[in-house]
Structure 1
């Protein structure tokens, strides 16, 4: 468990399935995410029950505030040979989504975990170019924009958007 002043990061439990289903069913949460096909609560429960154990290649943690799950953060596709991983994060609970620093603190805690505990050298992420709120937070904690993948994201309305590749090297995390 990783704790900050606002949030704690913890392993997900099968009991989290209902909250996760509500998050992924919320159009505002999914607006800038690759969502795939809609999933039923039963499908989300099954996935939660069969979730693999966190390991070097994939660490998925729940973001908890005030005793409830408010979002998810993960480091995936980690490779010990080169020390890189890709980060995903979302705040699913609307009450905690608009300011307050919950996502920022969760992002910092996860990056610190990646650099210190996993011995990563670089953490990368992709963000939709129009998602300026997320880009601002990423820059604030130390991510730099590395490049643009043109029209790589298809929104729910079928419109295409550019994706921005961002990265942070060990030692660049701003606390």
Structure 2
């Protein structure tokens, strides 16, 4: 792993910009992407929705485009948001857009970069996230990087006629440093 704050071996974290919107819109037309990323009903998005999202920034939100270092191709997004500075806690979420980029180690690298940023640069104490039980690759990733399952939202969502749990995971600063 590089000692650069926003760069790893294969990936770099950069600001999202207007030129990223067409790529993100394509991701939101893909049912596989949507099933893993959101509990909301699948619906294609419009460019103005993402433009508003990329421009809406405050001191409690840190969102990044995840790009391949060699080609600068946008492959995903990662966000630290809902920061409660008085408690030094926040939520983290991530997504890799195209299925062709899944299972290549990118998730591990992008989350590792974001964790380093969260605990070293932002000086957070706790990060938390939710994940659907059927997203086994994500569950394995979070556990590999030290997240602990803290709770279960039982039968939280329904996909294709079947109910699924949503898990709450958390990672504390000392757990991060102990790995």
Same fold (TM over 0.5): yes
TM-score by length of 2: 0.87
Aligned with residue 164 of structure 2, among 137, 149, 161: 161
Equivalent position of 1:49 in the other structure: 51
* Corresponding position of 2:135: 131
Aligned to 2:73: 68
1:11 aligns with 2:18: no
The answer as to whether partners of 2:31 and 2:42 remain within 8 angstroms in 1 is: no
Instruction: Extract structure 1 runs of 4+ deviating beyond 6 A.
Output: none
- Rounded Cα–Cα distance in structure 2 between residues aligned with 1:34 and 1:63: 22
Equivalent positions of 1:62-141 (< 5 A) are: 62-65=65-68, 66-97=71-102, 99-141=103-145
Task: State TM-score, norm by structure 1.
Answer: 0.89
Query: Tell me, what secondary structure is at the counterpart of 2:50?
Result: helix
Unaligned runs of 5+ in 1: none
**Number of aligned pairs?**
170
- Over aligned residues, Cα RMSD in angstroms? 1.8
